[in-house]
Structure 1
């Protein structure tokens, strides 16, 4: 039997653990520094988008199409347990501005139709058609977001609950977990015979855990644990919640689609109001850095810095955008905010590969802000890497010999412009705002 240690119990780690557990060949152990779901993991959230609109990147389109039946199966399993669904097929509304689609949306439509899924697309080619279909976006339409399409197959998942569900499935399959405190925290790789021969891990309590193979599925923490040669970097992305009530809650209720407001140009997206009345709005752009003394950016989260908020620049951009897109929020306090930490790869593609400087070490990382939708099925492709099986996916996610100067963002990022500020740096725009500044009318904007 092959013993595999997976470090990280988030989306990639749990999916891999489950895929391996289906084979009697493996003994699977998962280590995580916190109880699962870890409160500051990117996957621990109230919702994430499930879409297969990917421009020319049809490999992720296909992977999402493969994931959808699994999400429906998860919903059936949850129903049998008397619990709410994980996947909500509200549709994803891709809105553009000035009467024309962005290049990303044009390419997405072309690829979706070529794949035989044209029937899930509903185009809204006039301002009136958008308002008739979704009157809650009237203000946004009148301010220039006036063409779009609805992908009726997409929607959102309750990501924290989905992680819990996959965790339960792993436990039922006999996966072993060591979570929380020093006992679940990796201190170093265990290489007793030579510097590049990994034979397990050492945890924070000083104990050695031997294994035949080690998988690092640490998300944004990856580059802080092992040298990734600048192929991945931890970036923080601003997310806010509004606590809705009255007309706004009714307008953006469960029948509202996930929306992307000319995302490749503005960076803004949002969700229907959830059962607790929370409306989440986020940004998808080049993000913020928090470098250590060695210049490696690592996540700065509310687990260690409980009063952290978002940078002033992010707050300004958000309030300015919402003034045009959802004006009622201008008079509302932001009820919650955080930086959601991506593990951005150098080119927007996942990085799932044997590490070239270590034997028996696989890295499964580089989510680049679009990994959660693949929770049900990406583990099978990561298992293929572990087993040395070549597929279209494993080829695309292989180790790349690229220099940091070659960094580019995925096509859905705001302008695909690389401009990363350093939070808490000397620039006033990079300071984290106070709690008062999250209140309507009291922010220094």
Structure 2
């Protein structure tokens, strides 16, 4: 069945106003589409959107050596475009901080892996960090005070840094609205409870207030919540990570300005405090958490269901503090002022999923950030718009296609080449009610 006609007067419905939804709305509006509506159960920025964050890593490297497979080339195409967007697009440029990036490990195996996969195959300029003092010298005195036990790393000063994802998403949202995009947000008016089907096609979506929003074309870009609206044939696994904030004094925040991102592939990473709230963000590194419950579509199997929570498991707090003891022990015992779990959706091969649905020609799927979605914000909407128009470049189109064959016999507990923590995917069902942080709401509300 062919996809329906498309022109600038076609009605287009985007389900999801997160990172990719806002980017797509912006790019469609810039291309002259006049009848675009976006639905989301939350306002922008959504409290559960992966992109609702004070900072995210932005890194690009060209594939070389062992990384010249189709997926790596496709990802490089997307991230190269994104980096250019962060540097030149006035909607996004103010929120990119090209402060540099340190990648490191603390076991012989991981250090060798980083050298082979990240450094030897890169065209960038990396400086080797062999000692604790080498690490300390990458930042102003008094920032890195740890002993960095067994750490080795490499520092790149260009083409990488961090983005203020939340502000960038709001900027894209505001510009899309200015260009005529209609956003319907909040529960129940923006909460999509079902896609609407007719004659084998998807003709719109029904929201919790009972309204049916019909459209010529529907784009499903609801991130980790997407597989609750469509059977993805096991292609999506909602996976969560854990982040925490430490409140800094204004003097500390000033000293911690313009810092490179410090990332240990098995322990965690941190980025400089945001300029508004002076919050230092720390993430403990691990293969992720899922929330497994019985899957009604596949008897005897389980599926991961996202939920929002502004606390993290105590084991995640312990990992974050271990990372701080290695790097900034003077902060290791300071109280957390904020924490939350952050959801994304993993595909089996961690390539994006951007394609027309084979059985529903009016439905375009735009999901599967797989931990790398937020940094694509300036340009991912352009690739999604290309897919809608049927002109996505061939090499990219093949990699991001609808591909249920990759999910046959899928191992839901696969670490997908991620490291840290217990080196396995964890289950929130195993975290007891009293095994979460108890950050006071008075502290959270100050944010």
Aligned counterpart, 1:299: 306
Distance in 1, matches of 2:361 and 2:55, equals: 37
Distance 1:180 1:170, change over 3 A: same
Aligned counterpart, 1:442: none
Distance in 2, matches of 1:343 and 1:158, equals: 21
Distance in 2, matches of 1:321 and 1:339, equals: 18
| SS of structure 2 residue aligned to 1:240 | strand
User: Shift in Å at residue 98 of structure 1?
Assistant: 5.7
Distance in 1, matches of 2:415 and 2:355, equals: 20
Checking the alignment, whether the CA contact within 8 Å between 1:422 and 1:430 is kept in structure 2 is no
User: Which consecutive unaligned segments of at least 5 residues does structure 2 have?
Assistant: 1-8, 296-301
User: Which consecutive unaligned segments of at least 5 residues does structure 1 have?
Assistant: 80-84, 303-307, 440-445
Distance in 2, matches of 1:126 and 1:434, equals: 37
148, 169, 173: which one aligns with 1:167:
173
1:259 paired with 2:262, answer yes
1:224 paired with 2:239, answer no
Deviations 1:369-401 (A, max 9, x none): 111111110111111221222422222111221
72, 96, 103: which one aligns with 2:87:
72
User: Shift in Å at residue 7 of structure 1?
Assistant: 0.4
Distance 1:66 1:112, change over 3 A: farther
Checking the alignment, whether the CA contact within 8 Å between 1:292 and 1:298 is kept in structure 2 is yes
Distance 1:222 1:92, change over 3 A: same
Aligned residues: 413
Distance 1:21 1:296, change over 3 A: same
Distance 1:142 1:18, change over 3 A: closer
Distance in 1, matches of 2:329 and 2:137, equals: 19
Checking the alignment, whether the CA contact within 8 Å between 2:132 and 2:146 is kept in structure 1 is no
108, 130, 133: which one aligns with 2:135:
130
1:397 paired with 2:412, answer no
Checking the alignment, whether the CA contact within 8 Å between 2:313 and 2:431 is kept in structure 1 is no
1:43 paired with 2:54, answer no
Aligned counterpart, 1:331: 333
1:374 paired with 2:376, answer yes
User: Shift in Å at residue 127 of structure 1?
Assistant: 4.6
Checking the alignment, whether the CA contact within 8 Å between 1:241 and 1:337 is kept in structure 2 is yes
Distance 1:290 1:384, change over 3 A: same
Distance 1:78 1:428, change over 3 A: closer
Checking the alignment, whether the CA contact within 8 Å between 2:36 and 2:181 is kept in structure 1 is yes
70, 76, 94: which one aligns with 1:61:
76
1:28 paired with 2:36, answer yes
Checking the alignment, whether the CA contact within 8 Å between 1:352 and 1:364 is kept in structure 2 is yes
Checking the alignment, whether the CA contact within 8 Å between 1:345 and 1:368 is kept in structure 2 is yes
Distance in 1, matches of 2:422 and 2:360, equals: 34
Q: Give the TM-score, by structure 1 length.
A: 0.84
1:13 paired with 2:21, answer yes
| SS of structure 2 residue aligned to 1:394 | helix
182, 193, 202: which one aligns with 2:188:
182
Distance in 1, matches of 2:431 and 2:192, equals: 34
Distance 1:103 1:8, change over 3 A: same
1:92 paired with 2:127, answer no
User: Shift in Å at residue 356 of structure 1?
Assistant: 3.1
Aligned counterpart, 2:151: 145
Aligned counterpart, 2:271: 271
1:242 paired with 2:246, answer yes
47, 52, 65: which one aligns with 2:60:
52
Distance in 2, matches of 1:62 and 1:359, equals: 26
Deviations 1:109-143 (A, max 9, x none): 34431xxxx3x544445554333333557544542
Q: Give the TM-score, by structure 2 length.
A: 0.84
Deviations 1:346-386 (A, max 9, x none): 22111112223423111111111111111110111111221
How do 1:426-445 residues align onto structure 2 when only pairs under 5 Å count? Answer: 426=430, 428=432, 431-435=435-439
Aligned counterpart, 2:122: 112
Distance in 1, matches of 2:401 and 2:87, equals: 30
Distance in 1, matches of 2:53 and 2:241, equals: 13
Distance in 1, matches of 2:421 and 2:107, equals: 19
More divergent stretch after superposition (88-97 vs 154-163): 88-97
Aligned counterpart, 2:10: 2
Aligned counterpart, 1:305: none
1:213 paired with 2:245, answer no
| SS of structure 2 residue aligned to 1:174 | coil
More divergent stretch after superposition (56-65 vs 11-20): 56-65
Distance 1:136 1:396, change over 3 A: farther
197, 203, 221: which one aligns with 2:201:
197
